[in-house]
Amino acid sequence: MTILIQAKGLSKSYGSHQVLKSVDFSVKRGRIVGLVGPNGAGKTTILKSILGLTSYDGDLKVLGLDPARQRHQIMQKVSFIADVAVLPRWLKVENALEFVTDVHPNFNLDKARYFLSKTNIPMQARVKELSKGMVAQLHLALVMSIDAELLVLDEPTLGLDILYRKEFYNQLLAEFFDEGRSILVTTHQIEEIENLLTDLIFIRDGRIILDATMEEVAVKYIEVMVSKDDAAKAEALGPVMQRDVFGRKVYLFEGISREELEPLGELHSPSVADLFVAKMKEGK
């Protein structure tokens, strides 16, 4: 099976407020997919639906299973880290390991011990005695020791300092991710993971407004720094956004070929953050 998540017409309403408006997307095996959107756009609702933590309308298959009805089977092959740390404060690290060993058939205790041995976390410590960074390390050690095909990360590095954040993704790449697994990640610190992603999904007001591989993004979106004399020519090509840098204009184009843009100036790939800002302003 190459498609791990398939959503068709996925919708969700809270009362009269529709937070997901019939979204379609899929996540293939071996991919790292960034799901990016402002607060309240529907990201967490999508993740919760995938994990079987909320009801929804429409069609959703995770590993070929129905999250609403087959959550137990799905959770054997799916793991997740949410932005709100959920480890009980009184729990000792060694008890946490025992607990996961008992409840999870695909948990590898030796692996978890090995990952923890590389940190400064004492096995006897209670969660409340650990720093926020250490709690994240503990979480990661537990999650990476589960032989999961899909890892869902919801703002996994929120509130961590730069060293822990770097270490977090370093560990994931060095010890967990391979072509047999996929990672679906939401984060506001998009610049930290943009080189990590294979695919990008933007969501706004419950609708998907961009869904492409990073290669497609690089072909479709091009930034050009244009001198004032050529500004009119650039504007005639219909840029989706413009900003001023040192008296020159930087235009972002969508779907215009490199050949057409090259005469105007130096071509750049926009950062995901710049692209995000442009797509969020579009049509508003």
Partner 1 sequence: MTAIKWNDQQPIFRQLKEKVVELIIDGEVSEGEAVPSVRQVAADYQINPLTVSKAYQELVDESILEKRRGLGMFVTESAREKLLESEKDQFLNVEWPKIMQRVERLGLSMQQLIDEKSTQVEDK
Q: Which is nearer to partner 1, 32 or 134 (CB)?
A: 32
Give the torsion sign (CA, 260, 262, 266, 270): positive
Q: Which is nearer to partner 1, 132 or 268 (CB)?
A: 268
Establish if 258 lies at the interface with partner 1 (CB under 8 A).
no
Establish if 267 lies at the interface with partner 1 (CB under 8 A).
yes
Establish if 198 lies at the interface with partner 1 (CB under 8 A).
yes
**Size of the residue set binding partner 1 (CB under 8 A):** 26
Three-state SS string across 180-246, please?
CCEEEEECCCHHHHCCCCCEEEEEECCEEEEEEEHHHHHHHEEEEEECHHHHHHHHHCCCCEEEEEC
Whole-angstrom distance, CA of residue 16 vs CA of residue 14: 6
**Considering only residues 170, 238, 255, 257, which one is a binding residue for partner 1 as defined by CB under 8 A?**
170
**Considering only residues 25, 169, 202, 221, which one is a binding residue for partner 1 as defined by CB under 8 A?**
169
SS3 176: helix
Establish if 265 lies at the interface with partner 1 (CB under 8 A).
no
Instruction: Map residues 4-23 to x or -, x wherever contact with partner 1 holds by CB under 8 A.
Output: --------------------
> Is the separation of the CB atoms in 156 and 187 below 8 Å?
yes
Establish if 115 lies at the interface with partner 1 (CB under 8 A).
no
**Considering only residues 85, 91, 125, 196, which one is a binding residue for partner 1 as defined by CB under 8 A?**
196
Establish if 271 lies at the interface with partner 1 (CB under 8 A).
yes
Establish if 197 lies at the interface with partner 1 (CB under 8 A).
yes
Establish if 269 lies at the interface with partner 1 (CB under 8 A).
yes
Task: Provide, rounded to whole angstroms, the least separation between the CB of residue 3 and partner 1.
Answer: 17
Rg (CA), the chain: 21
> Is the separation of the CB atoms in 202 and 276 below 8 Å?
yes
Establish if 173 lies at the interface with partner 1 (CB under 8 A).
yes
Residue of 284, 278, 221 lying closest to 255 (CA atoms):
221
Whole-angstrom distance, CA of residue 225 vs CA of residue 248: 7
List contacts with partner 1 (CB under 8 A): 30, 32, 166, 169-171, 173-174, 177-179, 192-193, 195-198, 214, 218, 223, 266-271
